[in-house]
Structure 1
């Protein structure tokens, strides 16, 4: 279940008058807007507003032809049917945002005039898409020196910077905010909590995303903000809508928490399945299978042949791990033999063997050929859409000279340590066909069943293999030392198939529950 989409759907129903029933006894929104116009004209007479402040006010109405029109101060009328996003219920009305509030007309306050204990609200303090204030910080804590807008408890605070983040909150107390946030006060007692719902709705988001200016840091311009069309319900219905939404909204958090718990449970189950698999406890052993020792001997012969053909280089750290008469495990590298019992993480079945990763795979890290930015870009763009290669790497960007093209079946294992410190994170990925690979990924060709080795690399504990001072990494040398439990090739295939079947079953159960 997509709780974000569900929230947006509820917001959409709210601003279309479909969340609560209409009450024919409510005062129509048209009367409310007429009262606002009278209020603003009186404010001009009282000197609280200037004539220029209301010269652009308009009235939106529905004509006898069932189309929407806008009347301007000079009496001219224009059809605006193409601006109307949806039909309103009876008793509702459309109005420009600049008509119902002095949008963007805030005065900045110098930082040296703000008390050190005053609340300073910044964009980072607001949770996107939820209307929640994550934290409260004082001026002294923030060490703020820039000008701010002042706001009062109950005002609507709208972030005009990167409006797609949907950061819109109601002030819980008086304070000051960055000038990227606009405090909004509405005429005629229009209910700010309802306006929060409208401004966070898909309708308003679609409008602002279409007209925001700026590439890296898009903003909603003041005039564009004033011109936004707002659906105005009767005052009493505004409150009923908000009350209903506040009843429904906590359910989103409960649903999301349940989904998070479900995802955590699924991840834990998958991790347990992988752990059982590499210990030989997922599928039954078959005494008729070829012993793993025979498989490893054949792999050594295959690698020796590749060395003779000049296709790979000899690995001086190639080893053979065997079980001695004393039931301990030993590793032979060249003429040197050492007991490695202390390194082994768990017991394996009798017909399995331990092997270092470099003994059951070929590392292609040193076989990469750099591609310059120009060639990389043109080789990609020169392909049709269906022929574009998938991209695997840390940067995810086209044009870097540390990208390499591989064609075949490989296992990628990242070098950056973050995923390795999370036992449940995926570390290894299989790729097939032509792929761009960034140099932050180790590239391995498996000499055992690839799906089995990938599952192994996603389940083992990397604690003893990841090192570094400024940044933890899985170096090539340490990666080669990784110990892998190796069953017969027949059992590897059975294990891989069993894991796949169980994962598919788990995902189907998860989908049915969510």
Structure 2
């Protein structure tokens, strides 16, 4: 490796040259105290290294082997390393074996190491060297060979301190900025609520004509006649009693065009076709828009059998399985269809398309719909319930005014949200820039009197020669002694007495330390030609390994 381009006194080396990468102390569950901190990967927020949860063994009741870590260790998540889960241990504890405790020698500052593990150069390397398709992980040998830039110790501390200060300010900016999406969501909910309650246009009604002479009240049933089966559900419609006196309330079935009932669509659309009749699924509706480019197609013959649910521009769609999302069908999708997870509303002359969409998306309507879900694993709505959902109905002129005001304010919220995403992206882009500058020696001044990094590296090597690293425990401490590697893992698997076996059984039979065996096994599982596979054994309720014929 070359030191070209590095500041004077720095050296480029491998991570394994300075850290005993992969050397860990392992403990079984029965060896861990109830009040011990147990760290899992999901406890660390990706990229930010923020600790999301701190749970004790008594809370987690873990049943798997854990790595022990000490205060001051740098904890590195080797599973799916692109998530960049790195944490500085502020106290002793235990972690999943997918997290490696890295204990720097006195010649390496822990904060400096922590920031290097988030550096773009290191991340690019580990992402390229990870093995496994669905659950990629960094192997021990690859981790030892990872690039590392070593600076003089005093400068390491200055760099770590500067990065801590700058990145903490970035994190604070993120936290403040990330309140914006929640505020915008609440704003949109309040806006749609005000729209369907008549609050949004209260000034328009009074200013337009105190006697409401400019409106044409709609004849319809009052809210109280839309009966509910339980007192709890009756509370969902109490707000309708407070609507303006010129408004009426109708069930959804009474605001759609005659002869175009509220219906769901195709039950079995058949194989995916490159062309044909497009159909809309619930997942195709995002933020009130239909993602036209991702629509699937069915054959004209199947679509014809579901002609009752064929679409026209201006129809309103409502998701009725899992998510009650709302969207308006554009003119370009006239003739398309929907699936059984979506209901179609074709507005009558009583209600304009945009106002119907607002009414269905309003939090009051959404609560009503969710209260009428049926099923647990896949909650959905019965069409009979969908057809009787109460729809508040102002005069046509007021509907137009409500739509105008809602669209204007939603456009403002969308503009703010776009600015939020742009600023958030700029903040996220600052971290790799700062890290790059820091490890080029551009963030803090160099001191010519600092001890060169080459001397540090030599001292680390001499220390290892005189005191070999020993993080594992002996048999007298409750763990089996580490044995010299005598045969490959493939030979061990071939010699197993049964085709199906557990990882613990493999560990007992194999030579080598825990991490090496685990890394070699995962590499084998990722290789379809290795003659080994993993499966879930329903009888024991656990994952097992199977030796398969080539």
If the length of structure 2 is used for normalisation, what is the TM-score?
0.59
Q: In the alignment, what sits opposite 2:479?
A: none
Between the aligned partners of 2:285 and 2:163, the Cα distance in structure 1 is 41
Counterparts of 1:159-170 in structure 2 under 5 Å?
159-170=77-88
Between the aligned partners of 1:201 and 1:368, the Cα distance in structure 2 is 50
Which of these residues, 445, 458, 463, is aligned with residue 346 of structure 2?
A: 445
Q: In the alignment, what sits opposite 1:16?
A: none
Between the aligned partners of 1:428 and 1:222, the Cα distance in structure 2 is 49
Distance 1:505 1:230, change over 3 A: same
Q: In the alignment, what sits opposite 1:370?
A: 268
Between the aligned partners of 1:113 and 1:400, the Cα distance in structure 2 is 58
Matched residue count? 380
Distance 1:480 1:364, change over 3 A: closer
Q: In the alignment, what sits opposite 2:282?
A: 392
**3-state DSSP class of the match of 1:371?**
coil
> What is the CA-CA distance between 1:248 and the residue it aligns to?
2.8
Q: Contact 1:393/1:439 (CA < 8 Å) preserved in 2?
A: no
1:477 and 2:384 matched: yes
**3-state DSSP class of the match of 1:461?**
helix
1:145 and 2:63 matched: yes
Between the aligned partners of 1:192 and 1:458, the Cα distance in structure 2 is 51
Q: In the alignment, what sits opposite 2:361?
A: 458
Between the aligned partners of 2:278 and 2:226, the Cα distance in structure 1 is 45
Between the aligned partners of 1:411 and 1:139, the Cα distance in structure 2 is 51
Q: In the alignment, what sits opposite 1:500?
A: 407
**3-state DSSP class of the match of 2:63?**
coil
> What is the CA-CA distance between 1:244 and the residue it aligns to?
1.9
1:408 and 2:312 matched: yes
Alignment gaps of 5+ in structure 2: 228-234, 287-293, 424-550
1:100 and 2:1 matched: no
Counterparts of 1:66-145 in structure 2 under 5 Å?
87-106=5-24, 108-145=26-63
Between the aligned partners of 2:2 and 2:179, the Cα distance in structure 1 is 50
Distance 1:216 1:346, change over 3 A: same
Which of these residues, 198, 216, 221, is aligned with residue 291 of structure 1?
A: 216
> What is the CA-CA distance between 1:344 and the residue it aligns to?
5.9
Q: In the alignment, what sits opposite 2:329?
A: 431
Distance 1:277 1:125, change over 3 A: closer
Distance 1:104 1:486, change over 3 A: same
Between the aligned partners of 2:19 and 2:361, the Cα distance in structure 1 is 56
Q: Contact 1:96/1:227 (CA < 8 Å) preserved in 2?
A: yes
Between the aligned partners of 1:436 and 1:212, the Cα distance in structure 2 is 44
Distance 1:219 1:431, change over 3 A: farther
**3-state DSSP class of the match of 1:500?**
helix
User: CA-to-partner distance for each residue in 1:408-447, whole Å, 9 max, x for gaps?
Assistant: 3332323356x67xxxxxx422233447755333332233
> What is the CA-CA distance between 1:467 and the residue it aligns to?
2.9
Distance 1:200 1:341, change over 3 A: closer
Q: In the alignment, what sits opposite 2:251?
A: 356
Higher RCO (CA < 8 A, seq sep 6+):
2
Between the aligned partners of 1:186 and 1:331, the Cα distance in structure 2 is 70
Distance 1:255 1:352, change over 3 A: same
**3-state DSSP class of the match of 2:97?**
coil
Counterparts of 1:266-277 in structure 2 under 5 Å?
266-277=184-195
> What is the CA-CA distance between 1:161 and the residue it aligns to?
0.8
Distance 1:233 1:271, change over 3 A: same
Between the aligned partners of 1:389 and 1:198, the Cα distance in structure 2 is 49
User: CA-to-partner distance for each residue in 1:367-420, whole Å, 9 max, x for gaps?
Assistant: 435212xx22xx14x59xxx9987533999999999999653332323356x67
If the length of structure 1 is used for normalisation, what is the TM-score?
0.63
**3-state DSSP class of the match of 1:345?**
helix
Between the aligned partners of 2:124 and 2:69, the Cα distance in structure 1 is 27
Q: Contact 2:265/2:342 (CA < 8 Å) preserved in 1?
A: no
> What is the CA-CA distance between 1:364 and the residue it aligns to?
4.7
Task: Out of 189-198 and 106-115, give the one that drifted further.
Answer: 106-115
Alignment gaps of 5+ in structure 1: 1-59, 63-67, 69-86, 297-319, 323-327, 333-339, 421-426
Structure with more strand by fraction: 1
Q: Contact 2:320/2:343 (CA < 8 Å) preserved in 1?
A: yes
Distance 1:218 1:450, change over 3 A: same
Between the aligned partners of 2:63 and 2:224, the Cα distance in structure 1 is 66
Distance 1:499 1:464, change over 3 A: closer
Q: Contact 2:253/2:262 (CA < 8 Å) preserved in 1?
A: no
Task: Out of 487-496 and 402-411, give the one that drifted further.
Answer: 402-411
Between the aligned partners of 2:168 and 2:97, the Cα distance in structure 1 is 31
Q: Contact 2:215/2:398 (CA < 8 Å) preserved in 1?
A: no
**3-state DSSP class of the match of 2:47?**
coil
> What is the CA-CA distance between 1:496 and the residue it aligns to?
1.3
> What is the CA-CA distance between 1:341 and the residue it aligns to?
13
1:201 and 2:142 matched: no
Q: Contact 2:278/2:296 (CA < 8 Å) preserved in 1?
A: no
Distance 1:215 1:437, change over 3 A: farther
**3-state DSSP class of the match of 1:104?**
coil
> What is the CA-CA distance between 1:505 and the residue it aligns to?
2.4
> What is the CA-CA distance between 1:349 and the residue it aligns to?
4.1
Q: Contact 1:412/1:443 (CA < 8 Å) preserved in 2?
A: yes
**3-state DSSP class of the match of 1:103?**
coil
> What is the CA-CA distance between 1:275 and the residue it aligns to?
2.7
